[in-house]
Structure formats: C-alpha cells, structure tokens
C-alpha cells in the first residue's frame, strides 16, 4: 500500500507544532532536547522553498538497544535509571494546569488507552517484535482501573511527553551516559 502524501498545510502545521514544543522545552530549561536555532515552517521561504528547522547537535551516538546490546546488565540499568530521571525532569519542568475546554479534553483513561491501542497496532504489524499482543491486552485491561485512582478534586494537568521514544532518539557516549 502506497503512503498517503501529506498536504503542504499539514506539513506546515506539524512544523509549527514541533518548533513550538522545542521553544517551550528551551524556555522551561529542559537540557535533554535539541535547541531550535532557527527555522521556517512555510513553503514560501526564500532559502529552500521548503519548511526547515536548524537544531543544536547532541554529542554521542544513537543508543543501540537489542538482545545483545548494551552487553551488560549494569549498562542497561544505568540507561534506564537515566531515562526515568530525564522523563521526571521533563514532566516537572513542563507540567501546567490544563486549559478548560471540554471539547478537546480527554480523561487519563482515554489518553492511556489510546497509547496502548497504538502500540497494539504496531505489534500486530510486526513493528515491535519484542512485544507480544497478549501483554498489550493485559496492559489495556489493567489501565481500566486508572480513573478510580485519580483525585478528581485536583485541577487537570498536562505536561510535554515523548510518547513514541525509541532508542534511535537517544544519544549516548561511550560510557552509556545519555547526552541528548
């Protein structure tokens, strides 16, 4: 099946959203994402006639995470501990009350179910061979209990998350320190 081409307006909107997120991360002092140096989301720019972004560079190499790499359990744990710290830093720096708009808001249950359903689709397509469909459906069943655990007296909050993080998005040095 051929890929559906994106309309120029869709590409412009995606670029504007991405540049906005990068600016928000920079303003929040989040050190783990690239910095937006410049860009233009339009097709009308004189430089390229295409949307573009110029980002800062993170030193290191993309993380290789397979059955064989990283080779030691110590290195795997080191990376996972850093990822947890980075994700917590991301949430703590970008968390803010959700603007009240009933038409666009969703519950935590709907949000988490959407993520899991997307993962089920990717597992079914063979794009995540290390997961099996059964474990995804177990997670989907368990997430049904989320709404009962949330204190609805608190204002709804949102935070920037990297919901589709993969190893190729993570830069590490030779000592398995995450650099970006």
The most distant pair of C-alpha atoms in the chain lies apart, rounded to whole Å, by 54
Residue by residue, DSSP assigns 63-79 as ---SSSSS-SHHHHHHH
Please report where in the chains the tokens 């994402």 appear, as a residue.
33
pLDDT of 2? 54
User: Tens digit of pLDDT for each residue in 42-96?
Assistant: 999 888 999 999 999 999 999 999 889 999 999 999 999 999 999 989 988 998 8
* Whole-structure pTM value: 0.67
pLDDT of 106? 58
Burial of 22 (0-12, 13-18, 19+ CB in 10 A): buried
Decide if 95 contacts 157 (C-beta within 8 A): yes
Compute the distance between CA of residue 97 and CA of residue 174 in angstroms, rounded to an integer: 39
pLDDT of 105? 47
Q: Who wins on pLDDT, 83 or 3?
A: 83
CB-CB neighbours of 94 under 10 Å:
18
Three-class secondary structure of residue 7 per DSSP: coil
- Name the residue ranges covered by the structural domains of the chain: 1-58, 61-97, 106-151
User: Tens digit of pLDDT for each residue in 134-169?
Assistant: 888 888 888 777 655 556 566 677 888 887 788 889
Least confident segment among 26-30, 162-166, 171-175: 162-166
pLDDT of 98? 76
Compute the distance between CA of residue 61 and CA of residue 58 in angstroms, rounded to an integer: 9
pLDDT of 4? 59
Compute the distance between CA of residue 107 and CA of residue 116 in angstroms, rounded to an integer: 14
Please confirm whether the linkage preceding 152 is cis (ω < 30° from 0).
Answer: no
- The pLDDT-based confidence of 5 (bands split at 50, 70, 90) is low
Question: What is the H or E stretch that residue 62 is in?
Answer: strand 61-62
pLDDT of 109? 72
pLDDT of 177? 96
pLDDT at residue 103 is higher than 60 = no
Query: Span 15-44, mean pLDDT?
Result: 95
């Amino acid at each position: 099946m051929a890929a559906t081409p994106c309309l120029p307006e869709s590409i412009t909107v995606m670029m504007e959203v991405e540049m906005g997120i990068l600016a928000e991360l920079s303003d929040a002092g989040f050190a783990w994402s690239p910095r937006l140096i410049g860009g233009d989301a339009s097709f009308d720019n004189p430089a390229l006639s295409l949307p573009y972004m110029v980002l800062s560079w993170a030193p290191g190499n993309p993380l290789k995470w397979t059955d064989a790499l990283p080779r030691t359990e110590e290195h795997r744990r080191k990376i996972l501990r850093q990822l947890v710290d980075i994700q917590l830093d991301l949430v703590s720096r970008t968390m803010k009350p959700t603007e009240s708009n009933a038409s666009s808001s969703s519950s935590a249950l709907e949000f988490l179910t959407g993520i899991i359903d997307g993962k089920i689709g990717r597992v079914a397509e063979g794009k995540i061979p290390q997961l099996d469909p059964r474990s995804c459906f177990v997670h989907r069943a368990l997430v049904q209990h989320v709404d009962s655990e949330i204190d609805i007296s608190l204002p709804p909050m949102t935070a920037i998350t990297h919901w589709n993080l993969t190893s190729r998005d993570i830069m590490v040095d030779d000592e398995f320190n995450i650099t970006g």
